[in-house]
């Protein structure tokens, strides 16, 4: 799709440049719209995702409602998996190599209250980094779609 847009844009530019000085009585068609950037790009790529994930894990660690769930967790591994997962979920170049959400949370019996606390901790980090409302909503929506694989398993 992107190459088609680039080719279309080049054709418009070539047609404008090769007019030979003749004036057209018709209005030139508007140039092809540039494709919307991926959520990954709009968030700022890996450096921004890594910063938000790191801050988010700090929020989780300080959150008495849920920090007990992460006692004994390899936080370095969790951070790497979250970086990959967010990158992949937002259209970035990463491949998520972790377990499925259902497998990772099997037997944990995560409650709605705990899940909501986690989402609040993530929203707090997104706000800290001034992530615009559109991108914040898209990211929370993408990750919120996993709730059914996490809660009550």
Q: CATH number, domain at 54?
A: 1.10.490.10
| CA 128 vs CA 63, 96, 112, 122: distances in Å | 16, 25, 24, 10
Q: Is the pLDDT of residue 21 over 90?
A: no
Domain count, the chain: 2
Q: Pick from 48, 35, 145, 37: which is nearest to 87 by CA?
A: 48
Same-domain check for residues 45 and 110: yes
Could you give the percent of the chain with pLDDT greater than 90? 70
Same-domain check for residues 71 and 12: no
- pTM equals 0.75
Q: Are 135 and 93 in contact (CB under 8 A)?
A: no
Same-domain check for residues 78 and 144: yes
Q: Is the pLDDT of residue 4 over 60?
A: no
Show the domain range for 140: 39-150
Instruction: Compute CA 55 distance to the chain's CA centroid, rounded to the nearest angstrom.
Output: 16
Tokens of 17: 């440049």
Does 130 or 34 have the greater pLDDT score? 130
CA distance 82 to 14: 45
Same-domain check for residues 22 and 43: no
Residue 89: strand, helix, or coil: helix
pLDDT band for position 144 (50/70/90)? confident
Per-residue pLDDT, 17: 32
Q: Are 129 and 48 in contact (CB under 8 A)?
A: yes
Q: What is the mean pLDDT of residues 66-76?
A: 94
Same-domain check for residues 49 and 124: yes
| 9-23, 122-136, 137-151: the lowest-pLDDT one | 9-23
| CA 16 vs CA 13, 25, 35, 76, 100: distances in Å | 5, 14, 22, 55, 52
């Amino acid at each position: 799709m992107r190459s088609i847009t680039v080719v279309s844009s080049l054709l418009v530019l070539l047609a404008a440049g090769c007019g030979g000085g003749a004036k057209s009585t018709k209005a030139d068609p508007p140039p092809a719209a540039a494709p919307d950037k991926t959520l990954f790009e709009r968030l700022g790529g890996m450096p921004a995702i890594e910063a938000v994930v790191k801050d988010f894990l700090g929020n989780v660690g300080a959150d008495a409602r849920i920090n007990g769930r992460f006692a004994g967790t390899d936080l370095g591994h969790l951070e790497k998996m979250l970086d990959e997962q967010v990158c992949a979920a937002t259209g970035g170049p990463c491949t998520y190599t972790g377990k499925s959400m259902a497998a990772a949370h099997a037997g944990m019996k995560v409650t709605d209250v705990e899940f909501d606390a986690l989402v609040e901790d993530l929203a707090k980090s997104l706000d800290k980094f001034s992530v615009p409302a559109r991108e914040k909503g898209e990211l929370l929506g993408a990750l919120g779609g996993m709730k059914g694989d996490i809660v009550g398993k």
